[in-house]
Amino acid sequence: MKKVVISLGGSILIPSLENHTIREYVPVLRKIAKHCRLYVVVGGGGEARRYIGITRELGIDEGTSDEVGILVTRLNATMLIAALGEDAYPKVAESHAEAKKFGESGKIVVMGGITAGQTTDAVAAVLAERVGAAVFINATSVDGIYTADPRENPDATRFDAMTPKKLLEIVGGTALGAGSNNVLDIVAARVVERSRIPLVVLDGREPRNLSNAVLKGRYRGTVVSDGEKNPLPL
C-alpha cells in the first residue's frame, strides 16, 4: 500500500478554536486512509500564534517561543486523534522514528512539531523521506505556489508545476521565526529537492479538495517534481 504524508496547515484545521474544521476533516481522512497508509502532520494555527505573541510580549526568546508553539501543534494533533477514534494511532508521534513505528499499525498516524526552528511543513517533508512516501501533500490556505503572496499581490500568478530548484528560488527569502506562516519554508523545500518525492501544494480550506486530489486527481494546485508524471490520483 502506498504511503502518503499530508501537512495539514494549522491555519485551515484550527485557525481558531471557535472556527476549527476538525469535524469536516475526519471523514475525509478516514476515506483517504482506506486507500493508502496515511500520515498527517498538524500545524499550530492561530492559537499557536496567539501563544507565541504573548511569549514575545514577555521578552521570551525565539527558541522557547518555538517550544510553546510545538506544544500547541501536539495539542491540535491530540484533538484530531481523538476525533478520528479507532482509525488513528492513539498517541501523538513525537519523532519521525515514532511515526514510522506507529505506521506499522496500519492506522492513521498524527504528529505535530518536533524541533525548535523547524516548521511542521519541514517535519512533514522529512517524514515523507523517512517512510518512503509516494507523495507529500501540503494542504494550505492558498491554491498552490505563486510568484508572490496572492493575498497581498493581486498580480501574482500561480504555477501548475515547477522543479524543486525553482521552489527553492521562490521560498529562499522566507522568514523562519517562531510561528512563521508561509506556503512552505526553505528547510522543507531542500528536503523535497534531495528526496525527489513529489510535492503537491493545494487549497485545504475545503476538506473535500484533499480527497478529490488523492483519490480522483481533481484539484487546483502546484506539483513540484523533476518532471515525473503527476503523482495523483494514487
Cell 494550505 belongs to residue = 140
Which residue's C-alpha cell is 498524527?
110
Specify if 232 maps to a domain: no
Is 145 part of any domain?
yes
Return the CATH number at 137: 3.40.1160.10
pLDDT, tens digit (0-9, with 9 covering 90-100), for 146-171: 988 888 888 999 999 999 999 998 88
Q: Is residue 229 part of a domain?
A: no
Domain enclosing residue 148, as ranges: 3-224
Distance CA 56, CA 67 (A): 13
Distances (CA, A) of 216 to 114, 181, 188, 203, 212: 32, 29, 26, 15, 5
Give per-residue pLDDT as tens, 2-58.
Answer: 999 999 999 999 999 999 999 999 999 999 999 999 999 999 999 999 999 999 999
Query: Residue 95 domain-assigned?
Result: yes
Report the distance separating Cα 182 and Cα 175, nearest Å. Answer: 8
pTM: 0.95
Q: Residue 105 to residues 7, 81, 108, 114, 150: CA-CA distances in angstroms?
A: 20, 14, 9, 21, 40
- Asked whether residue 96 is assigned to any structural domain, the reply reads yes
Residue 97 lies in a domain: yes
3-state secondary structure of 2: coil
Angstrom distance (rounded) from CA 6 to CA 13: 12
The structural domain count of the chain equals 1
- Look at residue 107 and tell me if it is in a domain: yes
Give, in degrees to the nearest 5, the angle at Cα 201 between 177 and 159: 105
Residue 91 covered by a domain: yes
Tell me the residue length of the chain. 234
